[in-house]
Chain A
Amino acid sequence: MASNKRRRASYVAALAAAGALLLSACGGESTAGGGAGEETAAAGAFPTSGSGEVHLYNWTDYTDTDELKRFTAETGIEVILDTYDSNETLLAKLQAGATGYDVIVPSDYMVAQMIELGLLQNIGVSTFPNGANIKDNLMDAYWDPGRNYSAPWMYGTTGIACNTTAEPACANITSWKEYFTAGLPKMDSLKDQVEVVSAALRATGVGKDDLCTTDKAKYLAAQELLSGFKPAVIDSDSGIERVVAGTSNVRHAWNGSTHRMKVEVPGVEYIYPSEGLNLWADNLAVPVGAPNLDNAKIFINWMMDPKAAGKESNFSGYDNGIKGSDEFMDEALKTDPAVVVPADKVALLSSTPNCSEDARALYTEVFTSWLDSQ
């Protein structure tokens, strides 16, 4: 028992170190804050009660619907859930003028971009009744210093999932380079331009501080590496389902999905590639033009409650940014090295790159040309 506790303590320490990394922006030129949203007055009095609906637009397979039911039972607000598969898909929808969403879940760099483009509302999250529950290291996040626009949701890493029982060869993969060149059967990829391209850049020797480079030669090398990479499926929605069914044995995966695969298939392992991997943090935010602003605030505040956050972690398999939520988290989650970063792996983590427009255009070019040549 005691040793178990000590081990947990060391995990918590490692976690804190990982969390601290989230603070350091990766040197992207675009600075968060100061968008059009600044003019919108920060939250007035917090709404006490709501009715009607709140439209939640979240990543696929990322929401515990039992918790949504509990929310409806407690507040009388109906939650309508719609899903997307990547930050860029979310951005494309909002930029194209999609309305009707009250709460969206962009990741770190995407929050920064959206604030810059004037797509998010300044709702004064830190002044919410549950605002004090935000973990200290996520309070002054680079994408939203002081937490005006966004509340922390889950955070995690993006690495490689490997079913060592079904495909023993993937257990030998230690790096992105080996992953992209492994040529194993039943390999899948995420359909996410930032994840795929940044991993390919790392694999071709680009350091973590240089992932937003505008040096075309570096992207060319990544493109050449990717041209030989032909996964069976390129998809961000069906990873867990496919690995559990045995139709996929190796894939570019988020740590939380890998945790959920492990629960079903014990042979699955999460690989921390030696070139380093992205540490990301998702956030609850309200887009400009949300039809049910008060309900959105009530929803976000409710989700910042330790119990709600802990339950959502249990569902999705990721740690979250709310203090005290560990109390409600499953033991299996808190002891999984995929979820809780082992001390010797912490140095591999760095924030998902938040790049300038020029660098983003190069990401798009590499990603689209890879996708179109499949």
Chain B
Amino acid sequence: MTAVTTPTKKPVTPARPGQSSPKLAYLPIIFLAFAIGVPLLIIVVYSFLETPSQGTGVKWVFTTDNYRALFIQEKLDGTTAFDTRYIKVLWTSFYYSLITTVVTLVFSVPVAMWIATREARKRTLLVALVTLPFWISILIRTYGIRQIIADEGPIGKFLGLFDISWSILYAPPATILGLIYVFLPFMVLPIYASAERFDFRLAEAAYDLGAKRMTVVRRIILPSIRPGIISGVALVFIPALGSFLQSDMLGGGKTNMVANVIANNFGQARNWPFGSALAVLLIILTLLFVLVIQGVAQRRGDKVELV
């Protein structure tokens, strides 16, 4: 029959032995293209449209006013002025993310190193403990934090015994604390992954050759775990920029991070196009940070691929 035709078809030859057919990747790739590409496209398109008079949704009329409104305010008295509000909001988001990244980094390096130097069985257990928070919904954990750091919570009550007043909830410190708490595992895990592969005999050798403690850390250990650090920084800093929940629940409901302003425009304010424009700006800034982090990684010759 037609069996003769089959030999003409090229057999799928993996590029390398053990590599599977690329066909397996098609479905996930299509899924990702839809799940990421389509919403992104919608946001970009919406950001160039007008707001309908009854709010919510879009009016299909092209405009660049939404981007203009990010920086220029048309005041009610008819004058226009340079608007610093959204720049401030972006700066706040950047600043909170930076603090979060630095603090989680400082906390994570010793923790990751300590876990990496335990015996194999204990390491598995300790890594499981680091991932323990993921077992509980982030919403519930944030409620938990709110109870703990509340003025009349356990910390407040304890400090009250010494007449020390404690009030951080519904203020920026609470937001930052919430961010640090949520993102800590995302810093510990990649650094641990790097540290685990580190051959600790190298550190011993350095000691034997007369290097001081700090020199060993600076010249031997840190360079070896740098790929983990860079991954950790990327995994913490970038999502932290777009955080919503912490400032909403711990920061007092004031829209002080960019995601809260975006959410408000899609919610109460019902101005989708402006919310979209702000979202596009956030995406562009995030992309810039990704490129910067990747640039640093490449200059150092580390294998860290982010985009």
Contact = CB atoms under 8 A, between A and B. Distances in A.
A binds B: yes
Interface of A: 86, 88-89, 91-92, 95-96, 117, 191, 193, 216-217, 219-220, 223, 232-235, 245-247, 357, 360-362, 364-369, 371-374
B150 interface: yes
Name, among B56, B86, B151, the residue most crowded by chain A CB atoms within 10 Å (CB to CB): B56
Interface stretch (B3-11, B31-39, B119-127, B251-259): B251-259
Interface string B245-279: 00000001111100001001111111100000000
Contacts of A193: 268
B252 A232 contact: yes
A243 to B, nearest CB: 12
Contacts of B265: 368
27 contacts: A86-B268, A89-B267, A91-B55, A91-B270, A92-B268, A95-B56, A95-B270, A96-B57, A191-B268, A216-B77, A220-B75, A220-B77, A232-B170, A233-B252, A234-B253, A246-B151, A246-B152, A247-B170, A361-B53, A365-B76, A366-B76, A367-B269, A369-B73, A371-B264, A372-B85, A372-B86, A373-B85
A8 to B, nearest CB: 37
Contact of B255 (A91, A223, A374): A374
A219 B255 contact: no
B78 interface: yes
B150 A247 contact: yes
B75 A117 contact: no
A92 B270 contact: yes
Interface in B278-307: none
B270 A374 contact: no
B80 interface: no
Interface residues of B, number: 33
B54 interface: yes
A372 B261 contact: yes
Nearest to A186: B167
B274 to A, nearest CB: 9
B89 interface: yes
Given A232-B170, A232-B252, A372-B85, 13 more contacts: A88-B267, A88-B268, A216-B76, A234-B253, A245-B150, A246-B151, A246-B152, A247-B170, A357-B53, A361-B53, A364-B271, A371-B254, A372-B86
Contacts of A364: 55, 269-271
**A-B pairs, 4 with minimum CB distance:** A95-B56, A235-B253, A233-B252, A374-B254
Nearest to A218: B76
Nearest to B57: A95
A228 to B, nearest CB: 15
B152 A223 contact: no
A366 to B, nearest CB: 8
A310 to B, nearest CB: 32
B143 to A, nearest CB: 12
Given A219-B76, A357-B54, A374 B269 contact: no
Contacts of B254: 233-234, 371, 374
B267 A216 contact: no
A245 B86 contact: no
A92 B77 contact: no
A372 B264 CA distance: 10
Contact of B269 (A233, A362, A368): A368
Contacts of A95: 54-57, 270
Interface in B9-29: none
Contacts of A247: 150-152, 167, 169-170
A88 B77 CA distance: 26
Nearest to A357: B53
Nearest to B270: A92
Contact of B56 (A86, A96, A234, A372): A96
A364 to B, nearest CB: 6
Given A89-B267, A96-B56, A216-B76, A371 B151 contact: no
B84 to A, nearest CB: 9
A361 B167 CA distance: 37
